[in-house]
Homo-oligomer: A and B are copies of this chain.
Amino acid sequence: MCGPHVPDFSSASIANMSIPTALTPPRRVLMGPGPSDVDDAVLAAMARPTLGHLDPRFLEVMDEIGSMLRSVFRTENQLTMPMSGTGSAGMETCMVNLLEPGDRVLVGVNGVFGTRMAEVARRCGAEVTEVKGEWGRAFEAEALRAGAEHDRYDLVAVVHAETSTGVLQPIPAVRELADELGALLLIDCVTSLAGHAVEIDGWGVDAAYSGTQKCLSCPPGLAPVTFSERAVEKMKARKTPVQSWYLDLSLIQGYWGEERSYHHTAPINMLYGLHEALRLVLEEGLEARFDRHRRHSKMLCEGLEALGLAARVPEAERLAPLTTIAIPDGVDDAAVRGHLLEHFGLEIGGGLGPMKGNTWRVGLMGAGSTERNVKLCLAALDDAMGRG
């Protein structure tokens, strides 16, 4: 009865390649826009033995992750969990689940990630109103209101922390606007979660997504999301199926909820890393962590000013975890970043879109928000620009 089928179809001739050697990645100092430096305890957690995705011990891990995420998002939302993809998968999760064809969406676009939100919403068949704002500035709620083309919207979407520009968007006034328009409120907090106050319940946010590789200081690969009761009701009232099966929360809830029914095989070891990263965040305490991010951002900005470099975002609108810097005329963007990487093992980020070539992005995120990193970055920039 035994012995499996042996395929008899003869193999095509594919040239054999030489096998690469095992990886020995250098230890960088990651001060770009993410990924940020990862605590050794998080890396060690990822190397723990893989459990099955329905193992009783792993189900406990999932419950603990859910509880810790609720603490970090400052919410009691039941539907709070990490999606099995990177931050952009989190954005798509929110859009595909909340929107149906013809729904109206108002999006604030003042950077790459607002642009992306509008694009993803359009791919869901939504009718999208893009309100354009200046890159490097936050929106006044009045400007968003003025950009609305209808009295009623289904969703208002803004970026809380624009990773492309370094801008922090105040949320409460946007919530008021969403209320006027009868809309749910969605925020991108990829670069703010665990680095800046994110008050999902306090601000009345209906949906939010983040990523693990910024202020949570976990490697990239997971996208924490959270949804209010009102958001869940909108999903329950859908007339059309969610266009993405992989990101369909009505199915995924069966696994993360009490039923524990199989949907897809969860990325076990990534979730170990997130578990440890969340533990470290809560052990430090959110307020202490936000304060640390503010303190080192201030120290960096003062040092930059002393070097004759200018932050691109006005002080009151500036993100603590990510500082954008205007590259002085005559300074070669790529040459400076190459110098930093080669001589200091230091990664900082270049600009995106209209900021490409004229802006640096310096992250002080999570485990990487330290006085030592501030001083290293300032010394390295000074050296790279030939002023040392």
Contact = CB atoms under 8 A, between A and B. Distances in A.
Contacts of A37: 50
B20 A268 contact: no
Interface in A22-68: 22-28, 30, 32, 34-35, 37-38, 41, 43-53, 55-58, 61, 64, 67-68
Contacts of A16: 71
A305 B2 contact: yes
A92 B211 contact: no
Contacts of A357: none
Q: How many copies does the complex hold?
A: 2
A275 B20 CA distance: 9
Interface in A330-356: 341, 347, 352
A332 B215 CA distance: 47
A47 B219 CA distance: 10
Interface in A66-82: 67-68, 70-71, 74-76
Size class of the contact patch on chain A: 35 or more
Interface of A: 1-7, 9-12, 14, 16-17, 19-20, 22-28, 30, 32, 34-35, 37-38, 41, 43-53, 55-58, 61, 64, 67-68, 70-71, 74-76, 84-89, 91-92, 116, 119-120, 123-124, 168, 170-172, 196-197, 199, 201-203, 211, 213, 219-221, 241-246, 262-270, 272-273, 275-276, 279, 282-283, 293-294, 297-298, 301-302, 304-305, 310-311, 315-320, 341, 347, 352
